[in-house]
Structure 1
């Protein structure tokens, strides 16, 4: 029986993944001959912390020294680009209805690569924080978040579903032995053949939970 659902945020609850892709392109545009490579790395590693991507870009793409100070500066610029736009972004179809209809039946959590404070601010602005037993950002890896949820709730692995849209989501879920459901988008169609369960939006999630084993 499924007792908990963990959601990635961008591209799963809110149609905001493209906003962050555009922001990486804008940040990296100061290195015109390297920007496309930086965006490509982001697209291959969606769902992980932006700071990991900044570090990789500096050390492996432009071959410059990276520091915490540089990361904080880029992070601040990135937030300035995306924050208001994500607050205004539409929900994934069915998200609000699913959360409202089923929050008393399942424990809900968010596991995101977005910084914790920013994630909580967005969730509060969009009025969905009330539905979640925990909202977790990039201060922990997604595998660590899942592990903590399993321990806190005393849940067996097969009682938990993780809904994500990136390879990093799939790897975290499968690494911790919980069910993974792929929210299919134009950017992740290459993952479809590797996933047992998929949905096009959250109007299909209730049926998918029943298929997995309510």
Structure 2
């Protein structure tokens, strides 16, 4: 029986993966020293936090080492403001409100994201869904570390938990701990090459029936 459902945030609860990529481009629009090609290269190969991505961009652009840290902080704040504004306008992914409302009646819900935890808490609060979750976990801890902490807190076996996410980090956290996994085909990651036999859904609203079948 599934007792805990652990959701990724971007691409699952909100359709924000592409919005975040666009926000990085907007940060450097018109900056001749940091061309769009550099930003695109880093964004598409770096799966770290916004701080990691910004640091890589500045290193590739040849910014002097002593200037990088303050520039990362400044641009991270601007990035967060841009993304928060977008999420506030767009709201939850289709079916997310109904899915969370239904599932929280049957099990404990958690968020496990690669987004920095402070920013994640602010976004979830602004969306008005914080009370749906027993815990909200983000970076700098890895998704596997967060998932192990969730399992420990709830005192359950990994097979009593399901991870619902659209990225390889979500899949890996489930595989490493032994939890069930449901992949979301948000366009962020290609699931066609995986042979684990996990279900792939097009959006969060389909998770309700899949979780019920696992249970």
TM-score by length of 1: 0.87
- Decide whether the 8 Å contact of 2:38 with 2:61 is kept in 1: no
Change (3 A) 1:39 1:174: farther
Name the structure 1 match of 2:56: 56
Cα shift readout 1:149-206 (whole Å, capped 9, x = no counterpart): 0111112111111111122222233223322211102332x22332622111122112
Deviation at 1:33, TM superposition (A): 6.3
Separation in structure 2 between the aligned mates of residue 141 and residue 3 of structure 1, nearest angstrom: 22
Separation in structure 1 between the aligned mates of residue 168 and residue 185 of structure 2, nearest angstrom: 12
Name the structure 2 match of 1:145: 146
- Decide whether the 8 Å contact of 1:111 with 1:142 is kept in 2: yes
Aligned residue pairs: how many?
210
Name the structure 1 match of 2:20: 20
Separation in structure 2 between the aligned mates of residue 100 and residue 137 of structure 1, nearest angstrom: 22
Separation in structure 2 between the aligned mates of residue 106 and residue 44 of structure 1, nearest angstrom: 35
- Decide whether the 8 Å contact of 1:162 with 1:180 is kept in 2: yes
Cα shift readout 1:109-137 (whole Å, capped 9, x = no counterpart): 11122222222222112111110000122
Change (3 A) 1:180 1:55: farther
Separation in structure 2 between the aligned mates of residue 31 and residue 197 of structure 1, nearest angstrom: 45
> Is 1:162 paired with 2:125?
no
Cα shift readout 1:39-86 (whole Å, capped 9, x = no counterpart): 34323445x411121223333x33443743232112112112211111
Matches within 5 A, 1:1-40: 1-29=1-29, 30=31, 34-40=35-41
Aligned to 1:113, the other structure's residue is in SS state strand
Q: Which has the larger radius of gyration?
A: 2
Q: Which runs of 5+ in 1 are unaligned?
A: none
- Decide whether the 8 Å contact of 1:45 with 1:166 is kept in 2: no
> Is 1:204 paired with 2:206?
yes
Runs of 4+ in 1 over 6 A off after TM superposition: none
Q: RMSD value over aligned CA atoms?
A: 2.1
Deviation at 1:34, TM superposition (A): 4.4
Change (3 A) 1:151 1:31: farther
Q: Which runs of 5+ in 2 are unaligned?
A: none
Deviation at 1:146, TM superposition (A): 0.6
Separation in structure 1 between the aligned mates of residue 62 and residue 175 of structure 2, nearest angstrom: 33
Separation in structure 1 between the aligned mates of residue 36 and residue 169 of structure 2, nearest angstrom: 22
TM-score by length of 2: 0.87
